[in-house]
Structure 1
């Protein structure tokens, strides 16, 4: 029998859970909408051996082998690692998924390596996508979507090739293992990649809401490091959009084929307003 006291306790617990989620979601959107965040990107330019000028960036740019070079006009400068650069400058070689940020007036010029290619992405604070940002819609958080699971490491990390938001591009990640969990009466699994924090994990997935109420191509779930028994918590309330959900200037990876979940996960972030406007 549920008492009034039990009901009050459950309501308080839900209020606390919701407050923590709201803080997390606001912080996530604030980072996205930072003056030089992903919403400030004004273009995605693929570099090759032919020097070219690109909108929103100074100089002419080229890539030869594993290094990017810019040739600045006499009146143009960049600030790289705190030092002012003039004329011809060759950047240090970048690892896959690495980047360098150069400052140009109030903009940042991102030089990055994605899928074995060098790219240039100017980031301008006055870009309309950023200045008109209203925040990301999301399902109301609820503890039922924070489920426990178990992590099983592979004997050796498995190189896993996945597609990308840019047609023809491929990403390769080392998958250290898989996570198994139970949801809506189904035994489910996700192949996971390494997360940002040491020991943490990252799952890219789609589900039955994808393309309906959530972004069609992918969502991401960050998972804290497993405990000593391999236990993990998958809090789908914190399933997030990748940058490609907001802009076509992103090269986001797509989920492995086995990460297409057959259940409807009505939790986490939904299709951004920016994409729903595009579709109208």
Structure 2
């Protein structure tokens, strides 16, 4: 097997797992609504209870006959989920559905997730560019002395997110050096990049593209594998609060790699 064959097979395995996670029964394709909570309790047709928020955090008042499963325990009546941290969240179950209880952009929200949601049921996968080793670009991570709080916009008008930028990744494409501001990734030491390029709004999603980068080595070396650029939830549902890229993360080249428009 050649290096290219191995590269293609590794990519295919990775993308298959990514698609499985995306199309899971309670993934973001299952979201039926996003509710912005206020101090006034409100009921909704896709989740039990009357929901509100206040000084003690998110509260649900369940009517007789209604219940939720929270941490494996059935709750009835009035239940407080407490104050949720920014970008944090918990999940409660009811029937074959769940409800995400979270905070985004300083706002308390709930998002019911139903496995029979038509967006999920009708999902047939996301097309991607053919994997190409030339788009697995060597780069170098230059860390900031201290993390820099960085405010970015959101696909929701008026909503903002604040992330800690930890440095920049420098790399060469098309004979020119480019850089992308990086945030902490999900795995320890890894990096996360949000960007757009000259394919955005044409063959790829217009608002943002997401890319995970493995932890740099001791010299700061990384591989920026654009073949693994993915769509965020906002490419599929209106019930998302996805961040936009930092102002500097707009590449003047067409990155013809990774996932395309859904």
Per the shorter chain, which TM-score range? over 0.9
Unaligned runs of 5+ in 2: none
Structure 2 partner of 1:170: 160
- Give me the whole-angstrom Cα distance separating, in 1, the residues matched to 2:56 and 2:28: 24
Structure 1 partner of 2:120: 130
- Give me the whole-angstrom Cα distance separating, in 2, the residues matched to 1:157 and 1:109: 33
| Aligned partners of 1:66 and 1:94 also within 8 Å | no
| Aligned partners of 2:140 and 2:222 also within 8 Å | yes
- Give me the whole-angstrom Cα distance separating, in 2, the residues matched to 1:71 and 1:218: 37
Matched, 1:222 2:222: no
Please state whether the residue corresponding to 1:167 is helix, strand or coil.
coil
Which of the pair has more CA radius of gyration?
1
**Which TM-score applies when normalising by structure 1?**
0.92
Matched, 1:261 2:242: no
| Aligned partners of 2:59 and 2:82 also within 8 Å | no
User: 1:225-246: per-residue Cα shift (whole Å, max 9, x none)?
Assistant: 0000000100000000000011
Q: Which has the higher strand share?
A: 2
Give, in angstroms, the shift of residue 94 of structure 1: 1.1
Matched, 1:39 2:32: no
RMSD: 0.8
Give, in angstroms, the shift of residue 15 of structure 1: 1.5
Q: Which has the higher helix share?
A: 1
Q: How many residues align?
A: 262
Give, in angstroms, the shift of residue 116 of structure 1: 0.5
Residue 56 of structure 1, aligned match among 40, 46, 56: 46
Residue 199 of structure 2, aligned match among 209, 215, 218: 209
Find runs of 4+ consecutive structure 1 residues off by over 6 angstroms.
none
Please state whether the residue corresponding to 2:6 is helix, strand or coil.
helix
**Which TM-score applies when normalising by structure 2?**
0.99
User: 1:205-231: per-residue Cα shift (whole Å, max 9, x none)?
Assistant: 000000000000000110000000000
Give, in angstroms, the shift of residue 66 of structure 1: 5.6
